[in-house]
Structure 1
Amino acid sequence: MTKLRPRRIAATALAGLIALGAGLAHAEPPAKTLFSSKANPSAGASQSLGFYSNGCLAGGAELRPDGPNWQVMRLSRNRRYGHPATIALIERIAGEAAQRGVWPGLLIGDISQPRGGPMSSGHASHQVGLDFDVWLQPMPSPRLTQAQRETFPFRSVLKKGTFTVDDRIWDSHYRDLIKIAAEQREVQRIFVNPGIKKKLCETAGRDRGWLAKVRPYYGHDEHFHVRLFCQPGSAGCKPQPATGGGDGCNELGWWFNVALQPPKPGAKPPKPKPPLTLAGMPNACRAVLGAPDKGETAIASGSARGQGADAAYASAFAPAGNAVPLPTPRPLH
């Protein structure tokens, strides 16, 4: 009988442990399933934990579905939560744009889930409460009912089949709204379609400093995506590298000549990544997932949000509507 050397025994044992760990990770449900099942924020202080595309949100704040200068879309998705700084920023941008006559009201898309984390559809980011989407359509008058907000169609600002902005839709108000958002001190990046970035570069005039924050990216032709810096008090938040200097307009050639070109005939599609699990996320996210609901004690005592002042506040802006139906899938570009 052959004797195994100590080193070989150790190596065999290590390989077994690695295989066991991989098996356990594989058996763990996708994190998107766990986080999308949580209907309420966690108790405790507000913190962004991890990176924008791999993290979670503790103590999330809720954006009211209806405000003086905004409406939240697709309410049944329950993605209107964020860091308090994010919620305050949305309200400030909406108010400033309306006051200056730039935009009558914002249609707000996804922010984050109640506890952040990966979503079941639509985004890789939006996980730490520091991202939000603004539809590139003014809030209509009269306001949309809750039922209408579930089916109100997305609208691209590009000419169909091109990466060129459609001037039958676009005017200076679109540029000025994005500029207002970019000039906020909390904002690190704004993602738009490369065609929109090109239009902004052509029409910005001499005041171009804000353009550095506006970054071209795939899709983003029917909304723009605002991203905040990691906020004070969130020591576990992983920042994104700085955008750098300049207006970024000289980088567009790569997008139109390389990135947006169709794949070569016969090219293999990229292999999809396995779904993110809790094992691959910051350790603190496991605690966030298992924490009690924010305001759970108040709810148990009959003073839940929505039964008093909050309900009255919302009814002051929201039109009467039917029960919210199931959401329609969001088209991906």
Structure 2
Amino acid sequence: MKITTRSMFGISARFALGLAAALAVCGFMLSSATAAEKAKNLFGAKVLPALAAPQSFGFYSKGCFAGGVALPLDGPTWQVMRPSRNRRWGHPELIGLLEKFSRDAAAEGWRGLLVGDIAQPRGGPMLTGHASHQIGLDADIWFTPMPARRYSLAQRDTVGAVSLIRPGTHLVDERKWAPVYARLLRQAASYPEVERIFVNPGIKKKLCDTVSGDRAWLNKIRPLWGHDSHFHIRISCPPGSTGCKPQRGTGTADGCGEQLAWWFTDEPWRPAKGPQKPKARDVMTMADLPKACQVVLGEPAPLSADAVTYWAKGTAVAASGAPEAPAAAMPAMPDTASAFVPTPKVDIPLPLPRP
């Protein structure tokens, strides 16, 4: 069964009415101080998501989201890396997809996913790093397979991902490449929700040169600077997120022609001339973001991160990676303990409190 925002939680009339009321009552006239405040500072200071129905607002590089849930630090087929950044949050559609992908990838021979940045608890521009990852629909997956052992939290913040690109070139290092990488990317591209997968141009070229048979999935594999040690999954705007701005489609071609050839000219790598413009995230203010993001900032938070840590197959996944009691065996929880109330009694992953 496909897990959708609508089937899991419905669209909360409370949040929709609250948003409309907030915008109508104050006319959404931000004070000059608030409007000028750097958005990255405001969103970077939030340690928990907005207690509201899951919705994404704005564009991937200019927006925010409400009702986020966290990917557990450990699962049977994944580990979250760089936990100190607190960027393991996303729209429930994305988090559910990542868990499914980790299981499917394991069936394809991949030991498990090392998951990098997803988003801040309420999205928005980040204090450092990404231009996108703002609306809970982007996630980074390392090309390094998960080891048999569990990394400590300290190791997850220090262990480095391994690049697949040969130093000094834009081509894949043949000593590191293996067919399992193509299977991994093909599996990620197989989901209808996945709109784009960003990889280094050299990795795209390797796929173009070697993939036989069905090549339609290569359309979703898009070359981009960086992405040599990880790939970036982006899903489309989820149902119910009417304020989410979709990205232009990728067409139907496999992307292995002139579009890819451009990346192997000097032009993409030529240093920019003249004064360097500051990065958008460093100058973006609240006035630059969708008006709904001001409401998202002001929404109350859940009781704790555990209250909105995602459940896999109806079973809570503890930090140790060991499954806990099935959801059906859990006692009823008060409404205030859940980020989405009331919670429907159906056999699907639910963001409920863990013991």
Instruction: Give the TM-score category using the shorter length.
Output: 0.7 to 0.9
CA RMSD of aligned residues (A): 2.4
Alignment deviations for residues 156-208 of structure 1 (CA, whole Å, 9 cap, x no partner): 11011111101111100011101100111100000111111000101111210
| Conserved? CA contact 1:66–1:72, under 8 Å | yes
Mapped to 2, the partners of 1:154 and 1:259 lie a distance apart of: 27
Instruction: Give the deviation of 1:262 after TM superposition.
Output: 3.0
Where does 1:57-96 land on structure 2 (aligned, <5 Å)?
57-96=65-104
Larger radius of gyration: 1
Percent identity, aligned pairs only, is 53
Q: Which residue of 2 aligns with 1:118?
A: 125
- Shift in alpha-carbon separation, 1:119–1:305, aligned structure 2, 3 A: closer
Where does 1:28-67 land on structure 2 (aligned, <5 Å)?
28-67=36-75
Q: Which residue of 2 aligns with 1:156?
A: 163
Are residue 204 (structure 1) and residue 211 (structure 2) matched? yes
- Shift in alpha-carbon separation, 1:236–1:106, aligned structure 2, 3 A: same
Instruction: Give the deviation of 1:253 after TM superposition.
Output: 1.4
AA at the equivalent of 1:234: S
Instruction: Give the deviation of 1:260 after TM superposition.
Output: 3.3
Alignment deviations for residues 216-252 of structure 1 (CA, whole Å, 9 cap, x no partner): 0111111000000000010100000000111000011
Mapped to 1, the partners of 2:33 and 2:266 lie a distance apart of: 37
With normalisation by structure 1, the TM-score equals 0.81
Unpaired stretches in structure 1, ≥5 consecutive residues: 1-20, 319-333
Mapped to 2, the partners of 1:216 and 1:66 lie a distance apart of: 30
Instruction: Give the deviation of 1:304 after TM superposition.
Output: 5.6
Q: Which residue of 2 aligns with 1:4?
A: none
| Conserved? CA contact 1:79–1:114, under 8 Å | yes
- Shift in alpha-carbon separation, 1:92–1:311, aligned structure 2, 3 A: closer
| Conserved? CA contact 1:69–1:105, under 8 Å | yes
Where does 1:143-182 land on structure 2 (aligned, <5 Å)?
143-182=150-189
AA at the equivalent of 2:130: H
- Higher mean Cα deviation, 108-117 or 270-279? 270-279
Alignment deviations for residues 108-155 of structure 1 (CA, whole Å, 9 cap, x no partner): 000010001010011000000000000010001212111110100122
Alignment deviations for residues 244-275 of structure 1 (CA, whole Å, 9 cap, x no partner): 111000011111114334338xx325422561
Instruction: Give the deviation of 1:314 after TM superposition.
Output: 2.2
AA at the equivalent of 1:93: F
- Shift in alpha-carbon separation, 1:269–1:252, aligned structure 2, 3 A: farther
Alignment deviations for residues 19-65 of structure 1 (CA, whole Å, 9 cap, x no partner): xx999379722100000100000011000111000000101011000
Structure 1 runs of 4+ off > 6 angstroms?
309-312
Where does 1:213-292 land on structure 2 (aligned, <5 Å)?
213-250=220-257, 251-263=259-271, 267-272=273-278, 273=280, 275-292=283-300
Mapped to 1, the partners of 2:113 and 2:308 lie a distance apart of: 24
Mapped to 2, the partners of 1:317 and 1:198 lie a distance apart of: 39
Mapped to 1, the partners of 2:150 and 2:228 lie a distance apart of: 23
Are residue 190 (structure 1) and residue 234 (structure 2) matched? no
| Conserved? CA contact 2:35–2:286, under 8 Å | no
AA at the equivalent of 2:263: W
Say how many residue pairs are matched: 287
